[in-house]
Amino acid sequence: MKTPQVVVANAGKHIVYHTALGVQRLGFLKQFVTTFYYKPCTLSGQLLSRFVPEAVLFNRYEPELRSELITSNWLPEVLNRGLRALQVPKKLINRDWVYSVSFDYWAARYVKGCDAFIGRGGCCLASMREAQRQGAVKILNQLTMHPVVWNSILKEEYQRYGKENLNFLDALEQRMVEEIALADWILVPSEGVYNSFLSASVSREKLVLIPFGVSTDSFRPLPKQDDCFRILYVGSLALHKGVQYLLEAYQQLDIPNSELVLIGYPEPEFLPILKAYSRPYTHIPYIPHRRLAEYYSNASVFVLPSLGESWGAVCLEAMACGKPVIVTANSRSVVSDGEDGFVIPIRDVGALTETIRLVYEDSDLRSKMGQCARKRVEAFTWESYYHRLGMFLTQILGL
């Protein structure tokens, strides 16, 4: 029997490298098409290593992936970052649209000759159309909530803060809806994403829930270095991440020997909100991914107040480091409320304040929940993800 040939196309980094790796482990990977990818053994990789910090480069590298199967294109990211650096208004040129569409039309060239195509949501409409012309199985790797549902949440949040919504998905929504309609199967990483598709009347038969994983070797409990009660958030600082509610909660708490640490780059529209809070907090724009375990381990509790998450990888990383977490109902990932963390409603400053205070006042509860968190995520390793993905692909490809 002929070995199936699968093309994986992804504009991005980190988590989705594991989709390509899962396909490669099956022996099915024909091509992994992506944006900037670091190949340390090539001439370009060696030149880059002289000018770019190693920690940055290794964010775009997965050692087990075979470099000869990887095709990368820097242009979409150069365009995106250039538009950001020039501060071009999104109402004039939407850089997310430019990024996604430029990658998609380039990636479509590499779909030929495959039996199945796996494309990242928002970046694969032209590629899926090409896959359909060839009779290949079309699989959408969906990393966000249904675009119509998510767009509605974003618009509401911008209206609440009296800001012009330049980040919502109007420019991409129609493309994403077409991708969803075109796909034979839709891979979703969490129940939150799954339910958002059901609420948007997408057929349950097309949806396949395969949770992403976490490296329990890279992320593991390390000794805490001090007795400060440290609240940690990791991710972009943006309205849709709900960081404004965490800042407000911390302002109201006023608890001694505490610190709020925010790790991530702020979106331009969030800068005025960040500056509006007088109580001191620590903001670190960037930490290399492989160093984050140190920061998780030195925290007392991890908070993800997002209005919606696909998977919440940072939440699992914190849990793997033995930390209790506080998440919203739209970003709960695998959190069991009251066991390894707390699940609260979105936008609820009161609930967030009370929950942080509870964790602050009860050190035994923090310790017990942290131990439960570590145990919980051990069922969601990358090995388990590869296994579930492999079961799905072998079944739909008739093997």
Q: How many CB atoms lie under 10 A from the CB of residue 59?
A: 15
* Per-residue pLDDT band at 290 (split at 50, 70, 90): confident
Strand-strand pairing, 29-34 and 185-188: unpaired
Tokens read off for 202: 């997408």
Do residues 36 and 150 lie in contact, with contact meaning Cβ atoms separated by under 8 Å? no
Across residues 313-334, what is the average pLDDT?
Answer: 93
Beta-bridge partner residues of 302: 232, 325
Non-local CB neighbours of 220 within 8 Å, separated by 6+ positions: 293, 320, 321, 322, 374
Confidence class for position 277, pLDDT limits 50, 70, 90: confident
Model pLDDT for residues 31-85, shown as the tens digit of each residue? 999 998 877 777 666 676 666 776 666 678 888 999 999 999 888 888 877 877 7
Sheet of strand 301-304: strand arrangement: 282-284, 258-263, 229-234, 301-304, 325-328, 341-344
More confident position, 114 or 278: 114
> How high is the pLDDT of residue 15?
78
**Tens-place pLDDT, residues 98-109:** 889 999 999 999
- Please compute Rg for the chain using Cα positions: 21
Q: Spell out the domains of the chain, with CATH numbers in brackets.
A: 6-213+381-396 (3.40.50.2000), 229-377 (3.40.50.2000)
DSSP string of 269-313?
GGHHHHHT--S--EEES---GGGHHHHHHT-SEEEE--S--SS-H
What is the pTM assigned to this prediction?
A: 0.89
Reduce the DSSP state of residue 353 to 3 states and report it. Answer: helix
| % of the chain at pLDDT higher than 90 | 67
What stretches of the chain adopt beta strand conformation (E)? Answer: 6-10, 29-34, 70-72, 116-120, 137-141, 185-188, 207-209, 229-234, 258-263, 282-284, 301-304, 325-328, 341-344
- Alpha-carbon torsion angle 364, 368, 370, 374, nearest 10: 160
Alpha helices in 341-381 (DSSP H): 349-361, 363-377
For β-strands 301-304 and 229-234, DSSP reports them as parallel
How far is residue 291's CA from residue 273's CA, in Å, rounded to a whole number? 28
